């Protein structure tokens, strides 16, 4: 029995309770969590914006230590540190054949599996495959990545989603070049990662945008050279900061129609907007045909930072070891499992960066 945060039904409060976790089967690994980040995607799963079989144990950004391995698992032994990979590529679908592993058609198929049971015997699903909101979890070996040398296990949890997504949005999707100007909308865990990534990429002007004035210090510490409190004048303010041109690149980490539209309007003619935030079906973004032609801007979606975790994790680790990427600065609150609901409330209120569950 281990303690976990269970989502009993969509829209229902999380329940902190004990669950029955089996020994790992063939091809599986049991992991004792060191830490797990509370991501906006977990909130989107709990409120039904994104669908997941329920009841489920949420949490997809985590790192921990291997406790035991099932039959056929090689290359991992008890005591090894791992980062959880919530979106393992199958290697066989059309997207994988194109090298676009972040779009793998089968990446989330494990979320429909039964991986544990509640104390009364109810079947439980692993939200986004890895069920990191628990003291321990059992996952396919494909959902683990070796802990890079020199990275503290607790900090490494952030590599599993926020950093891969924010860094990837800047380097893979938007492909920011040295000297370009960048605006990042939303200063949460992903936004802070994107700001650091823009600095690493050599961006000249880096504008952070958020509804909260209190996040300015966080944003500037991450690399922002300018800070704008979101309003109806945001696009005009950003153009004023960039010689009336607009930024070369806007990275939207919120997932709201008004923010996406503002990010697009904040870019120069021919600029690029990358949408990272996950919005609901009711969030409609509209453009007219003439403005699409005239501005020549590019608007693109971005899944998991268009990242390949196996390829990108060693790169991120080298940035951490070299002091270019500061994982600890993303965390504004360290909590226990019982603190997840309050962390959700803070996200809805636009407060803080990343909340990190430390076990």
Q: 3-class SS at 215?
A: helix
pLDDT of residue 280: 87
Please say whether the dihedral angle defined by the alpha carbons of residues 10, 12, 14 and 17, taken in this order, is positive or negative. Answer: negative
Alpha helices in the chain (DSSP H): 40-46, 94-97, 153-156, 162-168, 189-201, 216-222, 234-241, 257-265, 289-295, 309-321, 340-348
pTM: 0.95
pLDDT in tens, the chain (359 residues): 999 999 999 999 999 999 999 999 999 999 999 999 999 889 889 988 888 899 999 999 999 999 999 999 999 999 999 999 999 999 999 999 999 999 999 999 999 999 999 999 999 999 999 999 999 999 999 999 999 999 999 999 999 999 999 999 999 999 999 999 999 999 999 999 999 999 999 999 999 999 999 999 999 999 999 999 999 999 999 999 999 999 999 999 999 999 999 999 999 999 999 999 998 889 999 999 999 999 999 999 999 999 999 999 999 999 999 999 999 999 999 999 999 999 999 988 888 999 999 99
Q: 3-class SS at 45?
A: helix
pLDDT of residue 350: 86
pLDDT of residue 172: 98
Six-digit token pair at 181? 């100007």
CB-CB neighbours of 52 under 10 Å: 22
C-alpha 285/C-alpha 46 separation (Å) is 24
C-alpha 187/C-alpha 254 separation (Å) is 9
C-alpha 319/C-alpha 321 separation (Å) is 6
Please state the three-class secondary structure of 177-213 as a single string: CCCCCEEEECCCHHHHHHHHHHHHHCCCCEEEEECCH
Start-to-end Cα distance in the chain? 15
């Amino acid at each position: 029995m281990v303690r976990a945060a269970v989502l009993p039904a969509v829209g229902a409060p999380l329940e902190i309770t004990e669950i029955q976790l089996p020994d790992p089967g063939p091809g599986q690994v049991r992991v004792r969590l060191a830490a797990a980040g509370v991501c906006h995607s977990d909130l989107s799963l709990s409120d039904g914006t994104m669908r997941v079989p329920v009841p489920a144990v949420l949490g997809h950004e985590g790192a921990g230590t291997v406790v035991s391995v099932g039959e056929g698992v090689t290359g991992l032994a008890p005591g090894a540190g791992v980062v959880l990979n919530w979106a393992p590529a199958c290697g066989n679908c059309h997207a994988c054949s194109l090298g676009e592993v972040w779009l793998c058609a089968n990446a989330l198929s494990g979320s429909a599996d039964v991986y544990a049971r509640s104390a009364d015997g109810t079947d439980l699903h692993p939200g986004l495959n890895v069920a990191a909101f628990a003291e321990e979890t059992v996952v396919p070996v494909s959902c683990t990545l070796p802990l890079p040398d020199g990275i503290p296990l607790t900090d490494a949890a952030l590599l599993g989603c926020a950093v891969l997504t924010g860094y990837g949005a800047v380097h893979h999707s938007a492909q920011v070049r040295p000297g370009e100007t960048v605006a990042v909308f939303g200063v949460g865990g992903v936004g802070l990662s994107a700001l650091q990534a823009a600095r690493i990429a050599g961006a000249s002007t880096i504008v952070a945008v958020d509804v909260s004035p209190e996040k300015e210090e966080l944003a500037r510490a991450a690399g922002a050279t300018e800070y704008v409190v979101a309003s109806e004048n945001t696009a005009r303010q950003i153009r004023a900061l960039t010689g009336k041109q607009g930024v070369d690149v806007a990275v939207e980490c919120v997932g709201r129609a008004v923010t996406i539209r503002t990010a697009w309007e904040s870019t120069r003619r021919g600029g690029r907007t990358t949408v990272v935030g996950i919005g609901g079906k009711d969030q409609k973004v509209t453009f007219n045909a003439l403005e699409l032609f005239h501005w020549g801007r590019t608007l693109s979606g971005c899944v998991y930072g268009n990242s390949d975790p196996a390829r990108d994790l060693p790169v991120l680790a080298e940035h951490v070891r070299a002091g270019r990427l500061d994982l600890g600065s993303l965390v504004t609150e360290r909590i226990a499992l019982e603190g997840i609901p309050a962390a959700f409330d803070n996200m809805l209120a636009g407060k803080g960066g990343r909340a990190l569950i430390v076990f």
